[in-house]
Structure 1
Amino acid sequence: MLNLSVKSPNHRICGRVISRLLLLSFGIFSILSVHSEEQPLQGTPIDITGIEDQLLENVKAHLDVQDETLTFSTLGLPRSNEYILRKSNAALQAFGYYRPTLDLTGDHRHWYLTIQPGPETKWQSIDLKIKDNIVLPEALSNLVNNLGLVTGQTVNHERYQTTKNKLLSTARHKGFLSAHFSTSQLIVAKDFTTADIHWVLELGPRYTIKSVQFSENKFSGDLLQSYVDIQQGDFYDADLLVKIQQQLNRSGFFESVGIDQDIDDQHHTVAVTFDVLSRAKYELKTSLGYGTDSRGRIGVEWKDQQVNLEGHRYSIAAEANSLSQSVAFIYRIPLQTPGSEWLGRASYQIKDDSIASSKISSFESRWIIKQSDFWTQQFAATIATEENSQNATIESYLEYLVPSWQVDYYSTRDPFRAEKGFHWRSIVRMSDDVISDPTLDFWQWEQNLKWIQPISEHWRFLSRTSVGLTIMKDQDFINNMPTSYRFFAGGDTSVRGYAYQTLGPTNNLDEVIGGKYLFTQSLEVDWQFKDNWRWAWFVDAGNAFSSDTNQSLYKSVGTGIRWVTPVGSVRLDVAKALDLTEEWRWHITIGPDL
């Protein structure tokens, strides 16, 4: 028993305070005791009926409902009925429902909330005034003419705020650095049936470029100017500056590129400095790798990153794996358009495959022309000699010149991080008796298409298609076609479940010699089960063939794990061939999905 002795008025006051504190503590303890006995402490179950889809999700988000449970407050106490009604009203108003009917029953053991949203509030008028009477930049003009807020459309507060923020950020990105809304009103009618928007956007002066410079400069002005297509007196454009920064980062000349800006509000100018960190002039790289097709791989490469002020570069590389050994010298000269270059490549390679052992000496001259962020063309000519031998006996000796033309189209600016889009590649090759010996008169056409399509937030569909066609006499193809231009199927990036280049026409000894035609198709679905991790399921089919050979498609199924990195995905797949008595086969590949 608790006894309180009261001896004076002051003591009586103290006694009443202590008594009330004890009663309050006892009440809180009783509530928490009920919850500890009847349900977990993390929250109160709640059933919400009467609404669905995005409206229901928004109410749950406002209430912080997780797994149909209304989470406790930060102090660990159950939420009150006032909190539930207030948050639900706010969630409904955000989607234009200002007159809902809310029926809340139950208690802290289990809440039941029934919602009748009531009539929608719709936009009646949308009034946007640009106070400064000037010609707007195209990006800002397009946004003003297509706000995305339409008369008669249901009020959506999130879209309202997003549009407002986008207007302001676009204006500032295009040089109106002091832009602001002098009037910003959302007026809801008394009967809550309509709402009006009144905006007045004051742009202010448009800032210009005061100067453009680099923190350090080891290259000629002409080279850098080809990337920095902005100069003193031009209007400030943040989007253009970011694009220039990305081009400089991708150029290969710099380790990193940042942007420093000195804003002069008095004269309405911006001094821009590209803060660059140049690469070391010389670089030595060694590499170890493994692929299920080529097995272990070892390589070494020496680079000179800056031969002269014009940005010329060269590298010498040697590589060896179970299928080939090679050494190559590559010289690069940048062209006027950023991302474009001339590349000269001299190489010597020894290949061991199912046909024969080949020794290939070649020189390639290639012009890579980047026409835009999406289109690239390549014009090339390859001069080569190829000696093919079997059992130490030279079977053939080829000398050939093969011109080619390649077109690449990416539907996205950043294929390494693409979550949606496609990559189309078309290659045309040819040769003629006049420029090759022996008879090597052919035309070849190769098409490749990679496609990524999101299905939901965590699921994607991926497709990969390859088609090849060679126009050449059958006997000339069998006797004279270089192995580099024959089509094969099977392997890590072809039909998984089959070994590398094991699908195609064969000779009398049942050795795969490659075909004139190619078709492969891969269909894949993957699921992101954790940040940077995906689990995939796939079906592959394909074959290489000639007009008088087996034209059936070989099929396989499999599954695999993907680890997403800044340079692409690391893929570990296991696949089962369905048409031959093959064991399950492992495949490892690294690279972008597109």
Structure 2
Amino acid sequence: MITRSLLALLWLLLAAPLLADTVRVNVDGLDNELRDNVRANLSLVALGDRDDLTEAAIRMLHRRAAGQIRRGLQPFGYYEPEITRRLERLEDGTWQASYSVSAGPRVHLDNVDVRVIGPGSHNKDVQAALSQYRLKSGSPLLHTRYQLLKSAVRRAALDNGYLDAVYSSHELLVDPAAGSADITLVMDTGEQFRFGEIVIEQDAVTDELAARYIEFATGEPFNQGLLLDAQYALQDSGYYSAVNVSAERERASDRQVPVRIVATAQQRQRYSTGIGFATDVGARVSFGWENRRINNRGHRASANFRISEPETEFATRYIVPFDDPRTDRYIYSISHLDEDLGDDIRSRRDELSATQARVLGDWQRSVYLQLTHELSEIAQDKSVDTLLLPGISFSRTLSDAPIQPRKASRITADLRGSFTGLGADTSFVRLTLETRLIRPVGKGRLLLRGDIGVSDVDDFGDLPVSQRFFTGGDRSVRGFGRDQLGPLDSEGRSIGGRHFLAGSVELEWPIAGRWSAAVFVDGGNAFNSFGSELEYSVGLGGRVRTPVGVVRFDIAKPVTVSKSPRLHIGLGSDL
């Protein structure tokens, strides 16, 4: 009978129509969630836009709608709905199918027997899954919650090495007349499996270094999540172009599962070029080179050259992994930077540094020692300084997406100092703190930024240009030029300050597709003593998402001084 009905329906749908018929479907009497699921079950909704439906096909689908509506309501515990249906042809030749639905009484859970037995019954992840989707007597029947519980508990067992976990009993019995349902769900975890022999097939680095990317060892409880972690860690190392991590269950013996890791070496050399534009620096060009594997101990080296109208920078780095190679490394660098800050202010410096970078929980800590030789020029005044800068920095970034996150934060703190007792020309201490916070507001986002910098130096005139604070520009206080804000000399030049404050409040709202609009208020200044006045600006902007980041177009108008609006264009991360 079912086969004959299907054949009849197929014939009706494929038959050449005498008239192109389409159907509009209305479902009334249900809340949004129920209505959406009912419509998802209606064949008339799925096929109604077709222009080859015959009248006979439409009437057949209409007759079947009542049963489909019932099936759409049952996952929510409604088994006895009242349905009124009507089908009519409108004057324009289209059809109108209307269904008035009363969901009726809801089925509630009566007897609930959900248990986990076996050696893994007290496993914390299994217990967490039981708690997350706990089913209680008297609560409404939701099929999805039952299925989520069923799959989550078994997945937790499998992920923790209980590979023979099986439901010895799983039953959902519904009595629509009584308005009740009984659930029996009993899972036997079986014995826990453990990691067996671990074989790593790779020739990019030493086996000892490759093994340090893996967080499990032979004899430890089997955990599927650790296999995924190992695959991601090896892929992210940069040493390999492809990584496959597999548990060979079929070769398990005495409940020990062998693991095979096959990793293909990445090409050693990588070259890169880039072009960009920002209002602060104009057009810029960059070139990069990286050797991912100087040797089989995982050392790597890189060199980067970047040039724009106000800046020329060349930097080399040599990186050595240690302890946990995923997060811990020594970084040795040599760099040269020639920076024109405008108003006849310039800094040319050569730097040599050594850094120990480690990850501590969510935080990255960097301890460094930097030797700097700097030529500072302020108009006709020139000074040459040699600084030995020990320092420490902490940073933490949390984000729900790499580009245009809805919820994210970043905190960066840096403390450094220079001391004549260590052979430097100037003594000072300098602290900076940068914060970013992004939170959803309806369909839009609220972006908050706050930066502060303080320094302690006996004679500010002895402080090199690179260690002074400036504000203003694309990523600081919009409406002002790059580094324009700060204390002025006798000729009106911004010469930087001992301290600075800068912040922003921005509301961004999606417009269409990849585009969004923004309104913002910026404020800040550089100064030599706290209590100095801040400069403020307000503005409007546009944003467009691209594969390489977010392009920003902003027009900002200072409100504390009389200046014309200023256009700012930039590309980069929100954080």
Tell me which of 158, 164, 171 is aligned to 1:172: 158
Distance 1:467 1:572, change over 3 A: closer
Distance 1:53 1:192, change over 3 A: farther
Q: State percent identity of aligned pairs.
A: 19
* 1:525 is aligned to 2:508: yes
2:227 is the counterpart of 1:246: no
1:573 to 527, 549, 553: 553
* AA at the equivalent of 2:329: E
For residues 482 and 125 of structure 1, the distance between their equivalents in structure 2, rounded to whole angstroms, comes to: 77
Counterpart of 1:7? Answer: none
Mapped to 1, the partners of 2:426 and 2:356 lie a distance apart of 27
Please give the alpha-carbon distance, in whole angstroms, between the structure 2 residues aligned to 1:549 and 1:360.
32
Deviations 1:112-144 (A, max 9, x none): 322222222222233223242445433223213
Cα pair 2:346 2:465 within 8 Å, conserved: no
Map 1:131-142 to 2 at 5 A: 131-134=117-120, 136-142=122-128
Q: 2 CA distance for matches of 1:265 and 1:124?
A: 45
Work out the CA distance in 2 between the residues paired with 1:42 and 1:540. 52
Instruction: Show CA shifts across 1:193-231 (max 9, x none).
Output: 222211122333433222223331232233222211212
Asked whether the equivalents of residues 488 and 543 of structure 1 are also in contact (C-alpha less than 8 Å), the reply is: no
Instruction: Kindly indicate whether the alpha-carbon contact (under 8 Å) linking 2:166 and 2:187 is maintained by their aligned counterparts in 1.
Output: yes
2:269 touches 2:290 (CA, 8 Å); kept in 1? Answer: yes
Deviations 1:475-501 (A, max 9, x none): 733x13333333333333333444333
In 2, Cα distance between equivalents of 1:136 and 1:412: 33
Aligned 8 A contact 1:523 1:539 in 2: yes
Please say if 1:364 is aligned against 2:346: no
Between the aligned partners of 1:352 and 1:553, the Cα distance in structure 2 is 23
Partner of 1:218: 204
Letter in 2 for 1:78: I
For residues 505-539 of structure 1, give each alpha carbon's deviation from its aligned partner in whole angstroms, at most 9, with x where no partner exists: 33333322233121211423242744xx2423231
Could you say which residue in structure 2 is the equivalent of 1:316?
A: 303
Select which of 166, 175, 187 maps to 2:173: 187
Distance 1:188 1:135, change over 3 A: closer
Residue among 516, 525, 539 paired with 1:557: 539
Counterpart pick for 1:465 among 424, 427, 449? 449
Equivalent residue, structure 1, for 2:342: 354
Letter of the structure 2 residue corresponding to residue 255 of structure 1? S
Q: Is the 8 A contact 2:411 2:435 kept in 1?
A: yes
Match of 1:15 in 2: none
Of the structure 1 ranges 399-408 and 239-248, higher mean CA displacement relative to structure 2 is found in: 399-408
Partners of 1:266 and 1:275 lie apart in 2 by 19
CA distance in 1, matches of 2:203, 2:16: 71
Measured at CA, do residues 242 and 223 of structure 1 come closer, stay the same or move farther in structure 2, by a change above 3 Å? same
2:111 to 113, 125, 128: 125
* Structure 1 CA distance for aligned equivalents of residues 99 and 121 of structure 2: 53
Q: 1:262 to 1:75 in 2, by over 3 A?
A: farther
Given that 1:208 and 1:236 are in contact with CA atoms closer than 8 Å, whether structure 2 keeps it comes out as yes
The answer to whether residue 516 in structure 2 is matched with residue 535 in structure 1 is yes
Counterpart selection for 1:162 from 130, 148, 154: 148
Instruction: Give the 5 Å matches for 1:24-423.
Output: 33=19, 36=20, 41-46=21-26, 48-63=27-42, 71=49, 77-78=57-58, 80-108=61-89, 109-134=95-120, 136-264=122-250, 267=253, 268-337=255-324, 338-354=326-342, 356-372=345-361, 374-390=362-378, 393-412=380-399, 415=402, 418-423=405-410
Q: Is this contact kept in 2: 1:382–1:401, CA < 8 A? A: yes
Residues 42, 581 of structure 1: alpha-carbon distance in 2 compared, 3 angstrom cutoff: farther
How far residue 343 of structure 1 moved from its aligned partner, in angstroms, is: 0.8
- Counterpart-to-counterpart distance in 1, 2:488 and 2:42: 68
- Change in 2 beyond 3 A, CA 1:415/1:507: same
The structural deviation recorded for 1:470 is 0.7
* Alpha-carbon distance in 2 for matches of 1:460, 1:569: 18
| Among 469, 493, 498, the residue aligned to 2:475 | 493
Cα 1:497–1:162 shift into 2, 3 Å = farther
Contact 2:525 2:534 in 1 (8 A): no
| Displacement of 1:101 | 1.9
Counterpart secondary structure, 2:571: strand
Native 8 Å contact 1:283 1:304 kept in 2 = yes
Q: 1: distance between equivalents of 2:400 and 2:242?
A: 19
Q: Is the 8 A contact 1:433 1:441 kept in 2?
A: no
Q: When the two structures are aligned, how many residues end up with a matched partner?
A: 549
* Structure 1 residues 523 and 192: alpha-carbon distance in aligned structure 2, compared to 1, 3 A threshold: farther
Counterpart amino acid of residue 554 in structure 2: V
CA 1:425–1:119 in 2, change beyond 3 Å: closer, same or farther? farther
* C-alpha distance in 2 between matches for 1:259 and 1:380: 36
Q: 1:100 to 1:142 in 2, by over 3 A?
A: same
Summarize the Cα distance change of 1:222–1:560 in structure 2 as closer, same or farther, 3 Å threshold: same
Q: Distance in 1 between matches of 2:484 and 2:23?
A: 60
Say if 1:172 and 1:225 are closer, same or farther in 2 by CA, change over 3 A: same
Structure 2 CA distance for partners of 1:471 and 1:553, relative to 1, 3 Å: same
* Range with greater deviation from structure 2 (421-430 or 58-67): 58-67
AA at the equivalent of 2:66: L
RMSD of the alignment, in Å?
Answer: 3.2
Separation in structure 2 between the aligned mates of residue 425 and residue 150 of structure 1, nearest angstrom: 46
CA deviation string 1:287-313 (max 9, x = no partner): 333333222222333333222222111
- 1:434 corresponds in structure 2 to 421
State the distance in 2 between where 1:295 and 1:460 align: 30
Gaps of 5+ in 2: 1-7, 90-94
Structure 1: gaps of 5 or more residues: 1-20
Q: For the Cα contact (< 8 Å) 2:277–2:569, is it kept in 1?
A: no
**Counterparts of 2:251 and 2:175 in 1: how far apart (Å)?**
41
In the alignment, the residues of structure 1 paired with residue 44 and residue 349 of structure 2 have an alpha-carbon distance, to the nearest angstrom, of 67
Q: What whole-Å deviation, never above 9, does each CA across 1:15-41 have from its counterpart, x for those lacking one?
A: xxxxxx9xx99xx999x64xx5xxxx5
Q: 1:307 to 1:29 in 2, by over 3 A?
A: closer
CA shift digits 1:391-411 (9 cap, x unpaired): 5x4522222233332222233
Are the aligned partners of 1:63 and 1:70 in contact in 2 as well (CA < 8 Å)? no
State which of 398, 411, 417 in structure 2 corresponds to 1:424. 411
SS in structure 2 of the partner of residue 169 of structure 1: helix
Go from structure 1 to structure 2 and tell me whether the alpha carbon gap of 1:303 and 1:134 turns closer, same or farther (over 3 Å shift).
closer
1:228–1:244 Cα contact (<8 Å) kept: yes
